[in-house]
Amino acid sequence: GQQVMQIPQYQHVQEGEDFTTYCNSSTTLSNIQWYKQRPGGHPVFLIQLVKSGEVKKQKRLTFQFGEAKKNSSLHITATQTTDVGTYFCAVGYTSGTYKYIFGTGTRLKVLA
Amino acid sequence: DTAVSQTPKYLVTQMGNDKSIKCEQNLGHDTMYWYKQDSKKFLKIMFSYNNKELIINETVPNRFSPKSPDKAHLNLHINSLELGDSAVYFCASRQSEAHNEQFFGPGTRLTVL
């Protein structure tokens, strides 16, 4: 089936370091969403990007949609232990789609 | 108030048994989903319903049968459980095309022995 790659698969950082995860598709996307799943928890919606080159910020989190709408990144500045979890992108290939394909996820561990 | 709820939270059963997982959302959303998350944390869509109608069926074995009695409920029945069915099953809902954010339930951890 369809799969959306995220890199890296795992990342361990010291508290205070920055972190970035990348989401890549071989096909042009209509939009992309980002979710966070804490250990033992469920995915929680963070943001949606729709426009080419779009950049959105939420406090220490910066989300970017590529110019070609085939990739996206999530950057966390100065990580904290509360940032621990798995970050997923979810891609929508067509406008108004009911179906989102989730990326393979990046597991972040933050060492205090 | 819980937006998307699932029961049971844990389900341990023998191979060959039949089991059901229930999902309810009190958000008034039109669309509901079932996802399967395996041990490697991959999240795969299984089914999607919109206003009680099946929209997406992602090549899931016939042993899995979703049922939506009304817009607020989407249940999942699994026949003849197999070892490979062990996973966490998440229900999710979405308001509409214009409001795409998906709200996930807490998950049901199914273990087949």
For residue B107, the 8-state DSSP code is: -
- The percent of residues above 70 in pLDDT, for chain B, comes to 98
Question: Which residues between 14 and 43 in chain A have a beta carbon less than 8 angstroms from any beta carbon of chain B?
Answer: 31, 33, 35, 37, 41-43
**Which among A45, A101, A107 has the least Cβ separation from residue B101?**
A45
**Which among A48, A101, A102 has the least Cβ separation from residue B100?**
A48
Q: Name chain B contacts of A90, Cβ cutoff 8 Å.
A: 102
Beta carbons within 8 Å of B61's beta carbon, 6+ residues apart: none
User: Among candidates A62, A8, A54, which has minimal Cα distance to A32?
Assistant: A54
pLDDT of A40: 94
pLDDT tens profile A44-82: 999 999 999 999 999 999 999 999 999 999 999 999 999
Q: Do B45 and A102 touch (CB under 8 A)?
A: yes
- Reduce the DSSP state of residue A83 to 3 states and report it: helix
Q: Which of B4, B31, B41, B93 to mutate to test the interface with A (most CBs of A within 10 A)?
A: B41
Per the CB < 8 A criterion, the answer to whether A11 and A17 are in contact is: no
pLDDT of A1: 55
pLDDT tens profile A13-37: 999 999 999 999 988 999 999 999 9
Q: What angle is formed at CA A100 by the lines to CA B82 and CA A9, rounded to 5 degrees?
A: 75
pLDDT tens profile B7-41: 999 999 999 999 999 999 999 999 999 999 999 89
Confidence of residue A95 (pLDDT cuts 50, 70, 90): low
Per the CB < 8 A criterion, the answer to whether B96 and B31 are in contact is: yes
